[in-house]
Amino acid sequence: MSPSSLDELIEALRCLPGVGPKSAQRMAYHLLQRDQRGAARLARAMTHALEVLRHCERCNTFAEEVVCARCANPQRDATQLCVVEMPADLAMMEQTHAYNGLYYVLMGRLSPLDGVGPRELKLDKLIARASDGQVQEVILATNFTNEGEATAHMIAELLAARGLRVSRLSRGVPVGGELEHTDTGTIAQALVERRPL
């Protein structure tokens, strides 16, 4: 007996990740009852983003241009290509101010259980990008989760087969970290990968 436009809004909200029937209902009531301006703004922002956003031809991140401003910037070092999973990871790398090369954003990671294999991740686009003749080193900065590690291994194999130099962010104790509060897996890794001083 509830109005069909309300039912449809609740159903449509379920496309959001982590939103089940109860949250969707709560969200719909909240928007309609307490924040109609926010809801109108969200609908507009979503429609606009769907219209104008595409993937940068070079780095694959979301962009409004064919080639994003970062890839088009001649000040960046085109000999280094850093591979990250998501735009948020790229943003973290940039915040370090320790890297001036270019990026490739996978927009995901290998995840066989979710049906994401090399084909779904479009690794051929990355290989083509890395084989442009300018890139001399590919730095793998996928997450250090199981899936991120598997993704890095797969990419390393594919790129090494094409004669490209591949590196990976180092693992170890975080800066400022105390051994007492660091997990043993990380300490063990830091021991194996210890560096001469």
Q: Does 75 bind its own copies (CB under 8 A)?
A: no
Least distance to its own copies from the beta carbon of 13, Å? 6
Least distance to its own copies from the beta carbon of 170, Å? 25
Please tell me the distance from the alpha carbon of residue 197 to that of residue 194, in angstroms, as a whole number.
Answer: 9
Helix, strand, coil percentages (3-state) for the chain, rounded to 5, are 45, 15, 40
What binding mask, one character per residue, do residues 1-40 give for its own copies by CB under 8 A, x or -? Answer: xxxxxx-xx-xxx-xxxx----x-xxxxxxxxx-xx-xxx
Q: Which residues neighbour 189 within 8 Å (Cβ) at sequence distance 6 or greater? A: 171, 172
The C-alpha torsion from 162 through 148 and 141 to 90, rounded to 10°, is 120
Least distance to its own copies from the beta carbon of 53, Å? 6
Of residues 80-99, which lie at the interface with its own copies (CB under 8 A)?
Answer: 86-88, 91, 94
State which amino acid sits at residue 82.
Answer: C
Structure tokens, 195: 């560096």
Please tell me the distance from the alpha carbon of residue 57 to that of residue 61, in angstroms, as a whole number.
Answer: 8
- Which of 86, 188, 191, 70 is CA-nearest to residue 142? 86
Least distance to its own copies from the beta carbon of 144, Å? 18
What binding mask, one character per residue, do residues 140-169 give for its own copies by CB under 8 A, x or -? Answer: ------------------------------
**Residues of the shown chain interacting with its own copies in the complex, contacts defined by CB under 8 A:** 1-6, 8-9, 11-13, 15-18, 23, 25-33, 35-36, 38-50, 52-53, 61-64, 68-70, 86-88, 91, 94, 107-108
